[in-house]
Amino acid sequence: MKLEGRFWITHNGKNLAGQGRIELLSRINDSGSISQAAKAMGMSYKSAWDAVDAMNNAAGSPLVERSAGGKGGGGTRLTDAGLQLIAAFRRYQEEHERFLAILGQDGGAAPYLQIMDRLRLRTSARNQLLARIVHIETGDLNDLVALELQGGLRLFASITRASTERLGLKVDDEIFALIKAGWVELSLDPATDALNSYRAQIQQIEHGARDTEVQLQLAGGLQMTALLTANELALQTGLEVTLRIEPSQVILCTL
């Protein structure tokens, strides 16, 4: 089974660019002329300009602009935003084509359905943090993976060396760090130099029959949730506390 599909980029609900528009931008960039780009694509000059205007309007900033005439005459060139759009589209399109190729493997519907089930995977972990790997300290059995979170905070995860290799982790990869709310420790003591120790402000407290759920805000606006035994601490909204997570209780999930 071979699956095919069209890939489009939208911005604020407007169609920004598909394969045809990206090809038009590329030809304008190569030739420095909308008329030459239109001719090469077998379209009228008006149609080409209409497409350019539509992209400029959808993007919210010019992708194509005319340069002033001079000794050599004027011309048309792509702005930095236009060049970035081409690069981004091609990168995303490669991933899109790779995704379709995977779905079409084995020539049957079963592999397709299995993959779609995996894409619908959810996790019970309350704290799902997008992070970038900045360093991996390898060990004999366990590796210490340093992650950069929102606001520049560093989070450390201790995982087995086999897990590092199985996930194919490397510096600059974007991954998710999963932390169950029950693994988040809170203390009224000042922050220490221990790994994964941060100051946080309590935003909301919800008391249950047995547990207390605490919503916290860290530096840079990062939000986290802790689940504590009821009445374990004298907590109140607005109070600053120390939040800590054991590196071994940070689960890494690749994208």
Is the model more confident about 182 or about 101?
A: 182
Q: Among 133-137, 150-154, 168-172, 229-233, where is mean pLDDT lowest?
A: 229-233
Better-predicted residue by pLDDT, 104 or 28 = 28
In a domain? residue 122: no
Q: What pLDDT, on the 0 to 100 scale, is given for residue 254? A: 81
Closest CA to 179 of 130, 117, 236: 130
Both 110 and 166 in one domain: the answer is: no
For the CA atoms of 90, 93, 99, 104, the dihedral, rounded to the nearest 10 degrees, stands at -120
Give me the pLDDT at residue 156, please.
97
Least confidently predicted of 69-73, 97-101, 154-158, 238-242: 69-73
Asked if residue 196 lies in contact with residue 185, where contact means CB atoms within 8 angstroms, the answer is no
**Domain of residue 141, CATH code:** 2.40.50.100
User: φ and ψ at 77, to 5 degrees?
Assistant: -140, 160
Who has greater pLDDT, 202 or 220?
202
pTM: 0.54
Does the residue 185 lie in any domain? yes
More confident residue, 146 or 210: 146
**pLDDT value at residue 221:** 83
Instruction: State whether 80 and 192 are in the same domain.
Output: no
* Same domain, yes or no: 85 and 159: no
Looking at 80, 115, 150, the residue that finishes a domain is: 115
More confidently predicted of 149 and 255: 149
| Mean pLDDT of the residues in the chain | 83
Residue 82, domain member (yes or no) = yes
Let me know if residue 120 belongs to a domain.
no
Whether the per-residue pLDDT at 73 is higher than 50: the answer is no
Cα distances (angstroms) measured from residue 242 to each of 116, 200, 202, 203, 248: 40, 6, 10, 14, 19
Residues 21 and 67 in one domain: yes
What average pLDDT does this structure show over 209-219? 87
Query: What pLDDT score was predicted for residue 4?
Result: 67
Looking at residues 150-167, what average pLDDT do you find?
Answer: 92
Shared domain check, 177 and 247: yes
Is residue 143 one of the residues assigned to a domain? yes
Domain extent for 204: 127-254
Residue 226 pLDDT > 80, yes or no?
yes
Question: Do 24 and 63 sit in the same domain of this protein?
Answer: yes
> How is the beta sheet containing 240-244 ordered, strand by strand?
185-187, 240-244, 197-207, 211-217, 223-229
Last residue of a domain, one of 95, 115, 135: 115
Which of 83, 84, 66 shows the shortest CA–CA distance to 75? 66
Q: Which of 115, 139, 171 finishes a domain? A: 115
3-state secondary structure of 255: coil
The secondary element (H helix, E strand) that includes residue 161 is helix 161-167
Name the token pair of 62: 């010019």
Q: Domain for residue 202, yes or no?
A: yes
What local confidence, expressed as pLDDT, does residue 102 receive?
Answer: 64
| Structural domains in the chain (count) | 2
Indicate if 165 and 236 belong to the same structural domain. Answer: yes
Q: Do 23 and 131 reside in the same domain of the chain?
A: no
Asked whether residue 57 is domain-assigned, the answer is yes
CATH number of the domain where residue 50 is located: 1.10.10.10
Q: What is the pLDDT of residue 255?
A: 63
pLDDT class of 106 with cuts at 50, 70, 90: low
**Same-domain pairing of 155 and 232:** yes
**Does 94 share its domain with 149?**
no
Quote the CA–CA distance of 174 and 66 in Å, as a whole number: 38
Choose between 100 and 15: higher pLDDT. Answer: 15
Does residue 4 form part of some domain?
Answer: no
Quote the tokens at residue 40: 């090469």
Residues 6 or more apart whose Cβ sits within 8 Å of residue 236: 202, 205
Is 252 or 75 the better-scoring residue by pLDDT? 252
Q: Is residue 100 located within the same domain as residue 131? A: no
* Claim to verify: residue 150 and residue 239 sit in the same structural domain: yes
